[in-house]
Structure 1
Amino acid sequence: MPSDLFSKWLEPGSPSGTGIDYFVEKNNGQKIGLDLLKPLMADHFVGEATVLKLGGYEKASAVIKNSLPTNKRTQSGDLGELLATEYVNSQTEFTVPIKKLKWKSDRQMPMHGNDVLGLNYTSNPRRILKCECKSRNQFGDSAVTEASNGLDGFDGRPNPSTLAFITKRLFEENRDDEAKMWSELQTKDPLPSKNLTQMVFALGGNDPTPSLAKCPKAKVKGIQRQHAAIRLSAYADFMKAVYTVDGK
């Protein structure tokens, strides 16, 4: 489903590396980005249904604020994961089934497991995406190395515990048909490598594409590897503003 993030706030940039989906902010686009992201932050960290049950955004402001990390490193990583989820859902063939940040037990800690998993619900056999997100004010080669190593774990396939986590949350939300699809990924023979796609998603205050261009191929033959990136023109200021609730 198309997202206003990638039409009203962002526009395609000119990547330094080939084959990289690269976005930059439009001129004077920071306010537009913040306006679009504020309700998405509440949805990803709390959930739209919970906000509505609390009586709307104003009455839910304390719960929203207490769900958002104040640790700068966690803020950076969580925003990268949020944007990666929105990117996958709107710009690729895959669908991320849940907004898993709302299940964080401690707002200051990153979640364990794969950052983002997506599934092509219409392909037969299924196609699955495994994505690692990295967010840095100064994005460099070390971030790409970390992401690449994470993608190569579990023979390049999704972390079984993350698959189980998604399955349980879908059943809890009475999305049983979807839950069974994710359950089958754990009980049937492993998907062939050609049906697996890996992605490094980068969020940076500088252009991440030169480093992404150096990213090695997947260790397991046949697994595709893709790259996507967003550059924020004022990374630190944007990070502070997007995590501000009611001016505080």
Structure 2
Amino acid sequence: MAQFNDWCQSVDEHVGDHFRSVLTAFPANIPVGISATTAIVPEHYASEEHVARALARLGKPAAAALIQGKLPTTKSIRSGDLGEIYATEWIAEFSVYRAPIKRLRWKDHRNMAMRGDDVIGIFLNPQTQQLCFLKVEAKSRATLTARTLTEARAGLDKDGGKPSPHALSFISERLFELNDLPLADAIDEALLKHGIPIQNVRHLLFTFSGNAPGNMLVAALHGYPGPINQWGVGLHVEGHAAFIGAVYDGVIANANNA
């Protein structure tokens, strides 16, 4: 996990019926954040089993090449990918949902952004036995603006605010390939048979930025007029661009030194 509590201060509050959390990196602990992030980034691009098999069969240089070949080289794609990675990790650390696949493993090209919903979190309600969905839009910007949050809102509101059928079908197919048949079947049933009640959907607007996101997230939550419960979460790291560069440099160095 990203171990946010080891390098960030978290300030949480309710905004009406919604929830906002701002995680701010302690300047002195930024190296801790870089180290923790460097450790988790590779598994978002390639499974540990794939890397281990390449290492055993082909040796360290080939395993390092496998990882490095999947990492984006452009600053904008690295930024966007890391925002999505942090959203996925926040879900795992601080919510009951889980993102059942790490979708960056299936990118068409390392320097292309993936289309569709950024992340989908899933939770099986033990009382109703219904699947609940967390639809996520993740935005990473050196300087976050209200316009960026407006773009995120437009993404969240697509498909009536529900996860897109394409995104759910994609997850189901990947889970089938990974032999997680019960969850794949449950998603197919929700998508194709029972439908998804709007009360079983929550939104997460996640930002990763070099400036403070708190007031903009509050405004975005206040401005939402719809029926879906909203979470707004912002990760604030001074020196956003340098931080991202250090993370990816560290991943490459670790792969070559493993």
Q: TM-score, normalised by structure 1?
A: 0.91
Take 2:187 and 2:12, find their aligned partners in 1: how far apart are those partners? 36
Give the structure 2 partner of residue 189 of structure 1: 194
Task: Name the SS of the counterpart of 1:118 in structure 2.
Answer: strand
For 1:190-235, what per-residue CA distance to the aligned partner results, in whole angstroms no more than 9, with x for missing partners? Answer: 222221101100000001122111215556x421111111001221
For 1:47-75, what per-residue CA distance to the aligned partner results, in whole angstroms no more than 9, with x for missing partners? Answer: 21111112289542211111111111111
One-letter code of the match for 1:100?
A: R
- The unaligned stretches of length 5 or more in structure 1 are none
Take 2:158 and 2:2, find their aligned partners in 1: how far apart are those partners? 33
Give the structure 2 partner of residue 91 of structure 1: 94
Give the structure 2 partner of residue 202 of structure 1: 207
Take 1:164 and 1:48, find their aligned partners in 2: how far apart are those partners? 24
Task: Name the SS of the counterpart of 1:113 in structure 2.
Answer: coil
Give the structure 2 partner of residue 165 of structure 1: 170
Take 1:127 and 1:218, find their aligned partners in 2: how far apart are those partners? 20
Take 2:55 and 2:69, find their aligned partners in 1: how far apart are those partners? 17
Contact 2:120 2:135 in 1 (8 A): yes
The answer on 1:214 being equivalent to 2:212 is no
The answer on 1:38 being equivalent to 2:6 is no
Take 1:14 and 1:38, find their aligned partners in 2: how far apart are those partners? 26
- The unaligned stretches of length 5 or more in structure 2 are none
The answer on 1:104 being equivalent to 2:107 is yes
Specify whether residues 230 and 58 from structure 1 end up closer, same or farther in structure 2 by C-alpha distance, changes over 3 A only. farther
Matched residue count: 244
Shift of residue 7 of structure 1?
2.0
Shift of residue 13 of structure 1?
4.1
For 1:92-138, what per-residue CA distance to the aligned partner results, in whole angstroms no more than 9, with x for missing partners? Answer: 12111001101112000111110010111244232111010001000
Give the structure 2 partner of residue 23 of structure 1: 23
Specify whether residues 234 and 14 from structure 1 end up closer, same or farther in structure 2 by C-alpha distance, changes over 3 A only. farther
Give the structure 2 partner of residue 115 of structure 1: 118
- Equivalent residue for 1:126, pick from 131, 141, 146: 131
- Equivalent residue for 1:74, pick from 74, 77, 95: 77
Contact 1:76 1:135 in 2 (8 A): yes
Q: Give the share of equivalent positions with the same residue, in percent.
A: 30
Contact 2:12 2:21 in 1 (8 A): no
Output the aligned Cα RMSD. Answer: 2.1
Take 1:227 and 1:146, find their aligned partners in 2: how far apart are those partners? 14
The answer on 1:64 being equivalent to 2:67 is yes
Shift of residue 11 of structure 1?
2.3
Specify whether residues 239 and 190 from structure 1 end up closer, same or farther in structure 2 by C-alpha distance, changes over 3 A only. same
- Equivalent residue for 1:139, pick from 122, 141, 144: 144
